[in-house]
Amino acid sequence: MKVLVPVKRVIDYNVKVRVKPDQTGVDLANVKMSMNPFDEIATEEAVRMKEKGVATEVIAVSIGPVQAQETIRTALAMGADRGILIQTDVDVDPLAVAKLLKAVIAEENPDLVVMGKQAIDGDNNAVGQMLAALLDWPQATFASKIEVADGKASVTREIDGGLQTLEVSLPAVITADLRLNEPRYASLPNIMKAKKKEIAIKTAADYGVDVASKLKVLKVTEPPKRSAGVKVENAAELVAKLKTEAGVL
């Protein structure tokens, strides 16, 4: 079984994001970048499938600038077998990403796509669902547990009322949630081995996909800063302020 894992290069989750002065976007200058955390979880799950003998090959795919090779190398160091970089300097919107992935899938013919439920930069939570629709494949989103056997995948997902278990026939698209697993740290020997693994460099034109954005960002702003708290002398004063100032009583 061949597993395809899309991985995205994003601002590291530990970095405080800065908005550009002209409010056209987020400042990426001199900022640490890393693999999207949900994609890291998806990669870990695909590698575990390979270790169990369920999967035979794991392919990491990224869409972005030349520096996205570093993100693919991270996936290779975790255990992926080879990578594909669709190189572009355009900020590709979700539908174009789904179309590019569809083209890659037509070429690679994987049995399963495991991907993060969303990227922490755009937070769109759209590519997995769009990809499944374009492929006309079954999908299972927000997976917290995956079991593959006999050409089917049993997926446990978290919903508002508890847990829901779905069974989908392969090929299928599965998106990973936070509690699916805890990604491993790549060891130094595996990092060195990853440098020798193959990364195929492609362009959007190779797949005949137009990546010109159909979405327009009007303005990006930082969330409002929290105002300082107020100390009160006693409970009576607290109740009075909640009544007169906060208006919640």
How is domain 2-246 classified at the CATH fold level? Rossmann fold (3.40.50)
The whole model's pTM is what? 0.86
* Domain limits, the chain: 2-246
Query: Which tens digit of pLDDT belongs to each residue from 195-236?
Result: 999 999 999 999 999 988 888 888 888 888 888 888 888 998
Q: Quick check: 91 pLDDT over 90?
A: no
- Give residue 30's pLDDT band: very low, low, confident or very high (50, 70, 90): confident
Query: Which tens digit of pLDDT belongs to each residue from 133-146?
Result: 999 999 999 999 99
11-17, Cβ contacts within 8 angstroms, sequence gap of 24 or more = 11/120, 11/121, 13/37, 13/120
What integer best gives the mean pLDDT of the chain? 92
How far apart, in Å, do the first and last CA atoms of the chain sit? Answer: 60
Residue 194's Cβ-side half-sphere holds a number of Cα atoms within 13 Å equal to 21
Alpha carbon distances (Å) from 173 to 8, 134, 167, 232: 17, 11, 12, 54
- Three-state secondary structure call for residue 116: strand
Q: Classify residue 117 by its DSSP letter.
A: S
Q: Quick check: 248 pLDDT over 80?
A: no
- Give residue 161's pLDDT band: very low, low, confident or very high (50, 70, 90): confident
Cβ–Cβ < 8 Å for 191, 69: no
